[in-house]
């Protein structure tokens, strides 16, 4: 969601964090793969084509990069990272702690976190309603 509004470097750095997120509990699940693919489509072929898809050694530099970014960018990154574990059948607590660390480092308030998470839940609910509607 809204990833197209990020600049090229922000998109690449976002992909670093997304890959970190899905790698926390081992290999990405089918759901995580699908969400990542949707995010890649939104990011665009040019940027996705230059990404190496391997875990970055400079996680701390990536966090510092976003700490200095505008709040809108931080919110977009956090929102999209929050989508990854919620579409998976198994919610790993390490992913929760990862998101919470990012939230704190980005200076995102608890109220803003709840607002962004509500969007993620609404999206998930809409997808489930659509599945039920087409399957009945």
Q: What is the pLDDT of residues 12-22, one digit of tens each?
A: 899 889 888 87
When pLDDT is averaged across residues 110-123 and rounded to a whole number, the result is 94
Q: Which among 63, 49, 67, 52 is positioned nearest to 21, based on CA atoms?
A: 63
CB atoms within 10 A of CB 105: 14
Which domains, from first to last, does the chain contain? Answer: 3-135 (1.10.3680.10)
Question: Quick one: how many helices (H) and strands (E) in the chain?
Answer: 7, 0
On the question of pLDDT at 64 being above 70, the answer is yes
Per the model's pLDDT, the better-predicted residue between 32 and 11 turns out to be 11
When pLDDT is averaged across residues 36-48 and rounded to a whole number, the result is 79
Burial per residue of 16-37, b for 16 or more beta-carbon CB atoms within 10 angstroms, e otherwise: bbbbbbbebbeebbebbeebbe
Instruction: Output the pLDDT for position 129.
Output: 92
Distance CA 66, CA 71 (A): 9
Distance CA 85, CA 113 (A): 15
Report the chain's mean pLDDT, rounded to a whole number.
85
Residue in this structure with the two tokens 């890959």, named with its chain if needed: 19
Instruction: Output the pLDDT for position 85.
Output: 79
On the question of pLDDT at 87 being above 70, the answer is no
Environment class of 129 (CB within 10 Å of its CB; exposed 0-12, middle 13-18, buried 19+):
exposed
Q: What is the pTM of this model?
A: 0.85
Per the model's pLDDT, the better-predicted residue between 44 and 103 turns out to be 103
CB atoms within 10 A of CB 51: 15
Instruction: Output the pLDDT for position 23.
Output: 79
Instruction: Output the pLDDT for position 68.
Output: 92
């Amino acid at each position: 969601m809204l990833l197209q509004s990020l600049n090229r470097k922000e998109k690449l750095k976002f992909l670093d964090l997304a890959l970190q997120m899905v790698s926390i509990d081992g290999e990405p699940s089918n759901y995580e793969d699908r969400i990542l693919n949707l995010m890649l489509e939104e990011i665009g072929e040019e940027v996705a084509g230059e990404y190496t898809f391997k875990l970055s050694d400079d996680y701390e530099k990536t966090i510092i990069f976003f700490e200095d970014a505008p709040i809108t960018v931080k919110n977009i990154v956090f929102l999209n990272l929050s989508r990854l574990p919620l579409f998976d059948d198994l919610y790993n607590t390490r992913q929760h702690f990862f998101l919470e660390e990012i939230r704190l480092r980005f200076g995102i308030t608890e109220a803003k976190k709840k607002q962004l998470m509500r969007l993620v839940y609404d999206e998930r609910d809409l997808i489930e309603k659509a599945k039920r509607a087409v399957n009945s």
